[in-house]
Amino acid sequence: MRPLFTFLLLLLAAGSGRAQSWTGLAHSNYGGTHNLYINPASLADSRQAFQLNLAAGSANFYNTYLQLALPAKPREYINGNQELRSDYFTEQGGSGPHAASITGELRLPSFTLALGDKQGIAFTNRVRAFAQVTNVSNNLARLARYGLDDADSLGLADRLAKSNSFTLSGGAYHEFALTYARTFTPNQEHFWKGGVTVKYLVGLGGGYLRNEGTSYELYGSDSIQLQNTKLDYAFTNPDFYDQAGFSVGTLYGGQRLGRGLGLDVGATYEWRPDYEQYEYRMDGRTWTDPTRNKYRLRLGLALLDVGAVRYQQERYVRQARIANPGTVRIGQLDTIRIDSPDDLAPTLQRLVGLTEQSRRFTSGLPTTFRLSADYRIVNHIFAGLLWTQSLRPETSVGQRTVSSLALTPRVEFGYAEIALPIVLANRYRQLQLGAMLRMGSLLVGSDNLGGLFGLTTTTGADLYLGLGFTLNKKRIKDRDKDQVSNKLDKCPKLKGPWECQGCPDQDGDGVRDTEDACPTEAGPAGNKGCPVLEQLTAPADSLHLLPADSLHLLPTSPAPDSLASPTESLAPPTDSTTSPTGQPATVAPVPPASEPAPAPTAPPAQQPPAQQTPAQQPPVPTGGRKP
């Protein structure tokens, strides 16, 4: 019994509840799949057409009880040049309660894909592991550090210790997720978008120990007295991985230990006071430039990790509860032996008594609310603020994210980015300085540089890195800058309007110069781009015979038939015409060339000329045959 008791106490002091890392990348416009874990709405209207995460990982440790003060640089101990001594660990101080956390995450191949300008989808795939404890009293933490043998010297023996409620949880699970996001408004001053992620979870193993107020008193190093015992525990038997015929199918198939569902939802608002500056004309329509960030201020809110993993397996899952309101004294702890996980329940039944046993338990996800703000100061310089608030109670079973507040100034380009997060971590009590560097899809960062490099007294450490492949969005190419894309431009080296498919049109008549018979004069396409001249024609019923004395023969020879066309211009007579003999003569209208001209009509003798108004006088052809 003593080894088990000591082991549990060591776990209580070993590991904070900071389950979230990657703060330096939280506001990036080029984070790809990593940004989805902050807010799924970031997928819509992103700067990336496609992003593939090949592999990424993070590790985080923090506690509020012990601190490490190394007299030499950390690499000296990593290389084995210096010995790590127990007296380098000192208590941080304070009366507790204390908390601790060890978390790790492996982000496996995942991708994001933009669907046009408004939508995007993503598939993400990661394994998460954690061991966390909350509400550990200061006395219990000291027992975990020094052991039961030093209880007398610590002043912890022969006294009743109360207020010992704590929760120890651990586990690992594989998360497969699909994300969909879209914009709700076009490019305008007030811009909105949202996203949702649905998760399928496979439990890889876990367990918990929860004390709801049991009081204890130590007698020497081998006896303990329990009062009002209220404990419950659960675990998955590690023999699951040693069973005969174990394979990947066993882990994910019908014999799996547990499974569950999860959900993330998020929304983003962007203030774009200069949104029109990011629009351009191309191929006869208005486009929004996808390569540029258009917001001056961006606000985001997200509810993350709603859900749980339910472990239920008849052979390898155990759960039990102890509820004994009386006093139980257990002596000779050295003689209690537990050789396998299956020995735990019978032993506790014999010593304390079990009130409930089952083959199932539930481990919750680290449900979190996040509020973010990102302000573009000028060009590529930004400042972001991220508030993280855990929504999972400290007494609940499962993984937790402890509340924090981070201010992150950064310089961001499509190909590179650097950020320097200043984090008020672990319930806003610990100030940390971090850094993140991204070169393309290669990134490395830490939210706690002091702990990572031993720059300060260390209470924890944090590190994350990743490698991927990215295709950023591009503006439509237009080589000759004529607002016709290279893909549709028939004259890619010469400027021309969209109506002519990018080919020159000097006169602006919509007919390409190469097809325009009159390139400097506007005309319809049906006339090969040449202007149409107006022609005057006289209807047949407007022609009348005139008195002989009102017209005179023209002293010309007969004109060719080609000049006797009815489409020739007609003009009213202005002077009287006489024959060579001085006698008046009349001229008949010239019929169309397809018909023979009628013989001239002789003028009547001594008939006075008829008086006609100008409107009644028929036009005289300019050419015709001599009568």
Taking residue 281's Cβ as centre, other Cβ atoms within 10 Å add up to 12
Give the model confidence (pLDDT) of 429-440 as tens digits.
Answer: 778 899 999 998
Is 178:122 a contact under the CB 8 Å cutoff?
yes
Please tell me the distance from the alpha carbon of residue 126 to that of residue 191, in angstroms, as a whole number.
31
- Give the pLDDT score at 8: 42
Token pair recorded at residue 85: 């001594």
- Give the pLDDT score at 273: 96
Confidence grade of residue 11 (pLDDT, cut at 50, 70, 90): very low
Task: Give the residue-averaged pLDDT of 536-563.
Answer: 53
CA distances from 57 to 63, 254, 490 (A): 21, 29, 50
- Give the pLDDT score at 540: 57
Token pair recorded at residue 83: 């010995």
- Give the pLDDT score at 15: 38
Give the model confidence (pLDDT) of 517-547 as tens digits.
Answer: 898 888 898 888 898 876 555 565 655 555 5
Give the model confidence (pLDDT) of 19-31 as tens digits.
Answer: 457 999 999 999 9
Task: Give the residue-averaged pLDDT of 467-482.
Answer: 93
Please tell me the distance from the alpha carbon of residue 270 to that of residue 374, in angstroms, as a whole number.
9
Tokens 């929004």 found at: 288
- pLDDT above 60: residue 271: yes
Q: Where are the domains of the chain?
A: 2-472, 489-543
Q: Any idea of the CA torsion for 222, 226, 232, 235, to the nearest 10 degrees? A: 0
Confidence grade of residue 570 (pLDDT, cut at 50, 70, 90): very low
- The mean of the pLDDT values for the chain is 82
Is 443:435 a contact under the CB 8 Å cutoff?
no
Token pair recorded at residue 603: 């003028």
Helix (H, G, I), strand (E, B) or coil at 344: helix
- Give the pLDDT score at 617: 47
- Give the pLDDT score at 555: 52
Q: What residues contact 625, with CB distance under 8 A and at least 6 apart?
A: 558, 559, 564, 590, 597
- pLDDT above 90: residue 576: no
Token pair recorded at residue 7: 């082991």
Of the chain, the percentage scoring pLDDT greater than 70 comes to: 80
Give the model confidence (pLDDT) of 481-527 as tens digits.
Answer: 999 999 999 999 989 999 898 899 888 888 888 888 898 888 898 88
Confidence grade of residue 339 (pLDDT, cut at 50, 70, 90): confident
Task: Give the residue-averaged pLDDT of 11-26.
Answer: 60
- Give the pLDDT score at 185: 96
Considering 258-272, 332-346, 483-497, the range whose residues carry the highest mean pLDDT is 258-272
- Give the pLDDT score at 94: 72
Task: Give the residue-averaged pLDDT of 176-194.
Answer: 97
Rounded to 10°, the helix 138-146/2-14 angle is 120
Confidence grade of residue 399 (pLDDT, cut at 50, 70, 90): very high
Of the chain, the percentage scoring pLDDT greater than 90 comes to: 47
- pLDDT above 70: residue 18: no
Q: DSSP for 215-259, please give it.
A: EEEEETTTEEEEEEEEEEEEEE-GGGGGSTT--HHHHHSTT-SEE
pTM: 0.78
Considering 298-312, 314-328, 394-408, 451-465, the range whose residues carry the highest mean pLDDT is 298-312
Please tell me the distance from the alpha carbon of residue 32 to that of residue 22, in angstroms, as a whole number.
13
Q: CA neighbours within 13 Å on the CB side: how many for 500?
A: 24
331 against 299, higher pLDDT: 299
Q: CA neighbours within 13 Å on the CB side: how many for 565?
A: 8
- Give the pLDDT score at 71: 78
Please tell me the distance from the alpha carbon of residue 304 to that of residue 371, in angstroms, as a whole number.
11
Element spanning 122, H or E: strand 119-136
Please tell me the distance from the alpha carbon of residue 297 to that of residue 607, in angstroms, as a whole number.
100
552 against 89, higher pLDDT: 89
Please tell me the distance from the alpha carbon of residue 288 to that of residue 281, in angstroms, as a whole number.
9
Confidence grade of residue 160 (pLDDT, cut at 50, 70, 90): confident
355 against 380, higher pLDDT: 380
- pLDDT above 90: residue 588: no
Identify the burial level of 168 via C-beta atoms within 10 angstroms of its C-beta, where 0-12 means exposed, 13-18 middle and 19 or more buried.
Answer: buried
3-state SS, 464-501, equals EEEEEEEEECCCCCCCCCCCCCCCCCCCCCCCCCHHHC
